[in-house]
Amino acid sequence: MRIGVVTFPGSLDDGDAARAARIAGAEAVRLWHGDPDLHGVDAVVLPGGFSYGDYLRCGAIARFAPVMESIIDAARGGLPVLGICNGFQVLCEAHLLPGALTRNQHLHFRNRDQWLKVESTNTAWTNNFTGGQEILIPVKNGEGCYVADAKTLDALEAEGRVIARYVRGNPNGSQRDIAGITNEAGNVVGIMPHPEHAVEALTGPSLDGLGFFTSVLRALAGATAGGQLAGGQQ
Amino acid sequence: MTTQQDKPSGFAATDVLVNKFEDGPDTVEKAEKAPDELQPFADLGLKDDEYAKIREILGRRPTASELAMYSIMWSEHCSYKSSKVHLREFVAKVPKNTRMLAGIGENAGVVQVSDDLAVTFKVESHNHPSYVEPYQGAATGVGGIVRDILAMGARPIAVMDPLRFGAADHPDTARVLPGVVAGIGGYGNCLGLPNIGGEIVFDPCYQGNPLVNALSIGVMPVERLQKKEATGTGNIVVLMGARTGRDGIGGVSVLASATFDEEAEQRRPSVQVGDPFMEKLLIESCLELYDAGLVSGIQDLGGAGLTCALTETAAAAGTGMRVWLERVPLREASMSPTEILASESQERMLLIVTPENLEAVLKVAEKWGVWATAIGEVTPAGADGTPGRLLITWNDHVVVDVPPGSLADDGPVYDRPMREPSDLILLQADRAETLHRPSTGDELRETVLRMIASPNLCDKTWVTEQYDRYVLGNTVLAQPEDSGVLRLDEVTNLGVALSVDGNGRYARLDPYEGAKLALAESYRNVAVTGAEPIAVSDCLNFGSPEDPAVMWQFAQAVRGLADGCQQLGIPVTGGNVSFYNQTGAAAIHPTPVIGVLGLFDDVTRRIPMGFKNNGELLFLLGETRAELSGSEWAWVTHDHLGGRPPKVDLAAEQALGKLMAQASKAALVSAAHDLSDGGLAQVLVESCLRHEVGATVTFPADGESAFVQLFSESAGRALVAVPVGHEKAFVALAAEFGVPIAQIGVTSPEATLTVTDQFAIPLAELRTAFTETLPKLFGGSAELVNRAAPVEVEAPVSEGRSVTLELTEPKPGGPIES
């Protein structure tokens, strides 16, 4: 399986996302922001960082990168896409996910090891977790406060599209403690904490982050075998 | 016309001269025609005899641009004119070392760590700018040191920041500290460099002169080492990166090389403004250029900007250089040639490129979206072998024509008068060992709680969680551990440990021993993780060199550091001197900050500081003496500074280091923590709280009192946790290396720190005392809960899902361990 990792100018965790994909057993393929060719990858990770210096608004410029046009099209067609941190911001700016990420409520960048509760496990990126499972993943962001209007938040909860919530403390003020969400089809996931930094005992607080990457491999294997992505109804 | 009242100072003064000529800038031709023109050299910080020397070198008066360049390059910051005679000690006493590939005088020292990899690291100051404008001052301090690392050919892989502020509760500290921390985080995080450690120290002596030092480390394939020499006649000089603006003009000569006075606030235009996004692109462009072999020479632009980069690259090669200044991309078109040469705009590099590679270089720059402009070319040295000249024109006006070596290498050198501070004898006689000590269990308990809540010893999470420690995915240990530990190679697990330490109080009491103690502490911090210390970098922060007492402190500290490195057998590979950390007559404590680099053949064997399992045996290594002078205890509980600092025994430090390296290789130890500020009490608290594991400690009845055991700051000590079954082997190993060892307790299943016959404190109580201080001083999550939570339109807040920010810190650390 080939997982593409996009590098925008200012992407920082792109190498780490590629490493995580490799550790999970995939082939990591680096994608360049200026190249619309997806090189036949089976899934895409939009990594953390400060794409285009976070100028204008986090993710607002990246959303118009040539590679994003291809990714937006492919995601609407079912390609599994994971946006981590800045990648989550890009997905919101691209309207693949609802809502927005705003300045942390306490106005500081915050980096800590954060407990999450996985809620929705019927997505391409979370199917290897169990519902209610608590996982420990580093969070590090300055603008990670998830906001949306009440109707959207209610709909996300009603449709089981909140994939994880912050537990034992909310690090940035996100509404309803939301750490990550998915689209209606379950193939596009955005998450603020960094699963790619919890994939090795030597460098991470846990190995919990691997679950996101093994999930997509499982979803892809299922899709190959059954002709359908795991992202749909289960 | 200017009058006496509105007489401009600093670099604005040079414009007076420029403006007097109606037909363009001051040129060499005009300098020859009007040799007696009065020049504002004193306003630029040049002395009478220095100005006379410039006239002698040029055989005429300098042009306005030349005058500015000399004032910059001959400033204390660039020329090291007061420190040079003392810094020679480092070279004279450098221990034999085959690892060093580049040393003092280069942008940063480089040491070889394996057959194919080398590491470069350096610590530098950005003190004055950070006081004037804390955010940008600190941010560009990070940017500057990172470019030094990049210029050597390395990919920067981490940063650290030793910081010193005035009293924690002083109103101005509440202005400076949050800005500095946000600046370091804002720049480093956006650059994608993990912040893996540092120091935060409060002392009233830093009130008007906070110390913002920044360290960066990089790694490279050995063959990628870059040179700064502008070799090769006809080669092209390329300026790459950000456009040049009016920021930071006069930074090194005005800000960094003079004592602060009341006008400091008006010097904000002298502080540079950073753009970390541009620096990130610059890093990636440079690394791509290195790997493609497209660069013949490279130098970063930092303090002294284009002036420094042009003269140093040419002087290093002995060549000349021809530069067309109007080609420099500007942010403001109206900039004068002098301003272009003096600008300290950030995120710029100067490349020397062969003509055939130029197109490829520009293509790489274009790929990453950075400006790259050919601004000049390398010209030959004289036919007789004399160095070439630096010729700079601006729209066909010759504004500079100088021998580059006269700027870069031939600056003035001063052997300034020195005198032991007159109060030192009295200060040393006022020993802390005579102060009233707590004696009962209750008093000791109260003292522990008071000490760990004091600003210097308390938990620093409020600061460190504003830094990204994870990016790049190779951080093995970061703050609050004794050292930052990084993996360099995912295949071999080759790794490094890095620590920076200094103690201004010790150095105030005895600068020679104080410098050695700082070296010893940094060395020990690296050694207790199991790494082998291999190299040193330093940032020497002092008051005004024009004060003989400060100069004496400086000379003593340099000698102490050089002697110490010689004894330990590890070289000083580079560093930085910061003088004029002084407001009025009051200088800061002499503050040598020492960085030590250690090496792991296999970084998976690193030893962390926290207790992980109960039932393990606690051993104290080293000898505890009643050494309280200069200690944190004397300062916190008696407001006392006097006496002589703890004795330093570098042979004992070395033995301790060898023991720890061996114990790490044999996997005998599960945790180890260096003893320094605050003594054993502090170490017990930190090691217990790291993973919520309690401990019970019993002191031998025939030894020093419990108070001395808990609060002495004797050097050469560490606390280690040894799993049952390994104790015999560990004790035997300690004996083999001659390290004094005493079993003082066990880790316990109870969440309590107990000192037998004295006191017991629940970990929760310790945590509260330890963690509350900084959030209370600088605001934190607690304050935020009182603010209006974001309003959820129309939706009732469901139970357990409202927007709340935690009041208590979650437990650090995770469930897994290696």
Overall fold of domain B227-410: Phosphoribosyl-aminoimidazole Synthetase; Chain A, domain 2 (3.90.650)
Q: CA B741 from chain center: how many Å?
A: 34
Judge whether A22 is closer than 8 Å to chain B, CB to CB.
no
| Record: contact B471-A16, CB cut-off 8 A | yes
What is the C-alpha to C-alpha distance for residues B790 and A103, in angstroms, rounded to an integer?
Answer: 11
Bridge-based pairing of strands B752-755 and B759-762 is antiparallel
Q: Which of A12, A35, A165, A177 to mutate to test the interface with B (most CBs of B within 10 A)?
A: A12
Per-residue HEC secondary structure of B747-774 comes to EECCCEEEECCCEEEEHHHHHHHHHCHH
Task: Tokens for B374, please give them.
Answer: 């050919």
What is the C-alpha to C-alpha distance for residues B438 and B634, in angstroms, rounded to an integer?
Answer: 12
Alpha helices of B165-275 — where are they, by DSSP H?
Answer: 171-191
Nearest residue of chain B to residue A169 (CA atoms)? B806
Nearest residue of chain A to residue B471 (CA atoms)? A13
What is the C-alpha to C-alpha distance for residues B158 and B137, in angstroms, rounded to an integer?
Answer: 19
What ipTM goes with this model?
A: 0.95
What is the C-alpha to C-alpha distance for residues B370 and B311, in angstroms, rounded to an integer?
Answer: 24
Q: Which CATH class is domain B607-779?
A: alpha beta
Q: Which helix (H) or strand (E) holds B285?
A: helix B276-291
Position B83 scores a pLDDT of 95
Judge whether B119 is closer than 8 Å to chain A, CB to CB.
no
Please give the domain boundaries of chain A with CATH numbers for all domains: 2-226 (3.40.50.880)
Nearest residue of chain A to residue B808 (CA atoms)? A169
Contacts of A165 in chain B (CB under 8 A): 801
Position B802 scores a pLDDT of 34
What is the C-alpha to C-alpha distance for residues B597 and B676, in angstroms, rounded to an integer?
Answer: 19
* Mean per-residue pLDDT of chain A: 94
Asked if residues B312 and B304 have their Cβ atoms less than 8 Å apart, the reply is no
| Record: contact A52-B275, CB cut-off 8 A | no
What is the C-alpha to C-alpha distance for residues A205 and A199, in angstroms, rounded to an integer?
Answer: 9
Q: Which of A22, A111, A178, A206 to mutate to test the interface with B (most CBs of B within 10 A)?
A: A111
Position B261 scores a pLDDT of 55
**DSSP secondary structure string, B327-353?**
GS-BSSTT--HHHHHH---SSEEEEEE
Position B269 scores a pLDDT of 56
Helix and strand counts by DSSP (H, E) for chain A: 5, 11
Asked if residues B74 and B46 have their Cβ atoms less than 8 Å apart, the reply is yes
Of A126-130, A202-206, B154-158, B814-818, which range is least confident? Answer: B814-818
Judge whether A184 is closer than 8 Å to chain B, CB to CB.
no
Nearest residue of chain A to residue B798 (CA atoms)? A176
Q: Which helix (H) or strand (E) holds A222?
A: helix A210-226
Cα distances from A58 to residues A51, B135, B347, B573, in angstroms, run 7, 21, 22, 40
What is the C-alpha to C-alpha distance for residues B476 and B196, in angstroms, rounded to an integer?
Answer: 9
Asked if residues B575 and B105 have their Cβ atoms less than 8 Å apart, the reply is no
Task: Tokens for B68, please give them.
Answer: 């500015």
What is the C-alpha to C-alpha distance for residues A135 and A143, in angstroms, rounded to an integer?
Answer: 22
Q: Which of B465, B475, B488, B811 to mutate to test the interface with A (most CBs of A within 10 A)?
A: B465
Nearest to A115 among B368, B789, B810 (CB): B810
Please list, residue by residue across A28-54, b when 16 or more beta carbons sit within 10 angstroms of its beta carbon and e when fewer do: bbebbbeeeebeebbbbbbbbbbbbbb
Domain ranges of chain B: 227-410, 607-779
**DSSP secondary structure string, A182-208?**
E-TTSSEEEESS-GGGSS-TTTSS-ST
Residue-wise pLDDT tens digits, A47-97: 999 999 999 899 999 999 999 999 999 999 999 999 999 999 999 999 999
Judge whether B135 is closer than 8 Å to chain A, CB to CB.
no
Position B22 scores a pLDDT of 58
Cα distances from B181 to residues A112, A222, B130, B156, in angstroms, run 16, 48, 10, 20
Nearest to B816 among A108, A174, A201 (CB): A201
What is the C-alpha to C-alpha distance for residues B184 and B141, in angstroms, rounded to an integer?
Answer: 8
The response to whether B406 counts as a known ligand-binding position is no
Give the residue ranges of chain B where pLDDT is below 70: 1-22, 250-270, 780-818
Cα distances from B670 to residues B479, B529, B563, B608, B717, in angstroms, run 18, 10, 34, 7, 17
**CA quadruple A162, A168, A170, A175: dihedral positive or negative?**
positive
Contacts of B784 in chain A (CB under 8 A): 105-106, 173
Nearest residue of chain A to residue B279 (CA atoms)? A10
Q: Which helix (H) or strand (E) holds B376?
A: strand B371-379
Q: Which helix (H) or strand (E) holds B560?
A: helix B548-568
Phi, psi at residue B213, to the nearest 5°?
-100, 150
| Record: contact A205-B814, CB cut-off 8 A | yes
Q: Which helix (H) or strand (E) holds B527?
A: helix B511-527
| Record: contact A175-B369, CB cut-off 8 A | no
Asked if residues B627 and B721 have their Cβ atoms less than 8 Å apart, the reply is no
**DSSP secondary structure string, B441-481?**
HHHHHHHHHHHHTSTTTS--HHHHTTS---TTS-EEE-TTS
The response to whether B122 counts as a known ligand-binding position is yes
Cis preceding linkage at B480, omega within 30: yes
Position B270 scores a pLDDT of 62
* B250 φψ region: left (φ > 0), alpha (ψ -120 to 50), beta (else): left
Position B814 scores a pLDDT of 36
Q: Could you tell me which residues are beta bridge partners of residue B575?
A: B538
| Record: contact A111-B815, CB cut-off 8 A | no
Q: Which helix (H) or strand (E) holds B56?
A: helix B48-58
Residue-wise pLDDT tens digits, A158-191: 999 999 999 999 999 999 999 999 999 999 999 9
Contacts of B466 in chain A (CB under 8 A): 108-111
What is the C-alpha to C-alpha distance for residues B263 and B56, in angstroms, rounded to an integer?
Answer: 34
Contacts of A151 in chain B (CB under 8 A): 794-795
Cα distances from A211 to residues A78, A206, B188, B548, in angstroms, run 20, 11, 29, 64
What is the C-alpha to C-alpha distance for residues B774 and B780, in angstroms, rounded to an integer?
Answer: 8
Residue-wise pLDDT tens digits, B156-176: 999 999 999 999 999 999 999
Catalytic residue set of A: 85, 194, 196
Phi, psi at residue B455, to the nearest 5°?
-55, -35
